[in-house]
Amino acid sequence: MRALASLVLVLALVGAHSASAQDVLGVAAIGVLPGQTRDVPVSIRDLSGTLLDEGDGLNLEIQGFAFRLDFAPPEHVTAVTFVQAGVTAGHTPVFPVITPAANHIIVLMSFDEGTDPLVFTLDALPPGNLIGALRFTLSAGAPLGTLITLTLASASATLVNGAATLSETVANGHLALAAGSLEVTHNVFADGFESGDRCDWSLSLPAPVCP
């Protein structure tokens, strides 16, 4: 009886650990100059113990993603789109949806697992694998010091398998979100993910000069 109780306790602990595992969809914090176009990295960190893990086999790995990103205040953003990079570079989405609006952008991409498998690094260090970038253009009149928050909407953020039969969401507990920002400044994070390494740029340079 005692052995059975111990087994039940172990199974309960294992189940609790599995339910708490979360992949992470995140956007970076980037500095930008007035009137400049800058790419904000978007990454997925694939952590073991979720519904979709790299190496688990057919229809058990991340093959698509969807999200809505809200940016505020929106008045200094003149254009925004999404460009593929990192693990999605060179791959052709089955049906890409990129829909910019005045204060948000919606992105949906899914890739054929047979012809265009996405390869993530399981349990990679933060921020995980780059999946693309949000390409923002700011108005020439954007004042220095302006901070534009970049927030992923929890209701729509989703990671899916190749068959779209399994999904990771905030609601089912298998997905966490990391917000980012655009700061109109001469001083920027070197890698966009708040590592602490910073570098300066000037109005005469198209990109920061980092050591």
Is there a domain that residue 3 lies in?
no
Q: What is the mean pLDDT of residues 111-118?
A: 95
Backbone angles phi, psi at 97, to 5 degrees: -125, 115
How far is it, in rounded angstroms, from Cα 35 to Cα 28? 19
| Residue 77's CATH number | 2.60.40.680
Nearest CA to 45 out of 137, 103, 115, 124 is that of 124
- Is the pLDDT at 177 greater than 70? The verdict is yes
d(CA 155, CA 135): 23
pLDDT at position 187: 63
Confidence of residue 95 (pLDDT cuts 50, 70, 90): confident
Q: Which residue has better confidence, 74 or 20? A: 74
pLDDT at 188: 53
Mean pLDDT of the residues in the chain = 85
Residue 6 has pLDDT above 80, yes or no: no
The number of domains in the chain is 1
Q: pLDDT tier at 186 (50, 70, 90 boundaries)?
A: confident
Question: Tens digits of per-residue pLDDT, 16-43?
Answer: 334 578 999 999 999 999 999 999 999 9
* Structural domain for 120, as ranges: 22-193
**Minimum mean pLDDT among 74-83, 113-122, 159-168, 193-202: which range?**
193-202
**Is 59 domain-assigned?**
yes
Residue 1 lies in a domain: no
The amino acid at 92: T
The per-residue pLDDT for 207 is 44
Which of 193 and 92 is assigned the larger pLDDT? 92
> Is the residue at 16 inside a domain?
no
Percent helix, strand, coil in the chain, to 5, is 10, 40, 50
pLDDT surpassing 80 at residue 104: yes
* CA distance linking residue 94 with residue 65, whole number of Å: 12
- State percent of the chain over pLDDT 90: 77
Q: Return the higher-pLDDT residue of 200 and 152.
A: 152
Sheet holding 77-84, edge to edge: 77-84, 129-138, 37-45, 23-27, 175-178
For the entire predicted model, the pTM comes to: 0.81
Angstrom distance (rounded) from CA 201 to CA 70: 27
For 37-51, b/e burial (b = at least 16 CB within 10 A) is ebbbbbbbbbbeebb
Domain assignment present for 199 = no
Question: Among positive and negative, which fits the CA dihedral 58, 163, 179, 184?
Answer: positive
Q: pLDDT digit string (tens) for 124-174?
A: 999 999 999 999 999 999 999 999 999 999 999 999 999 999 999 999 999
Residue carrying structure tokens 């990079």: 85
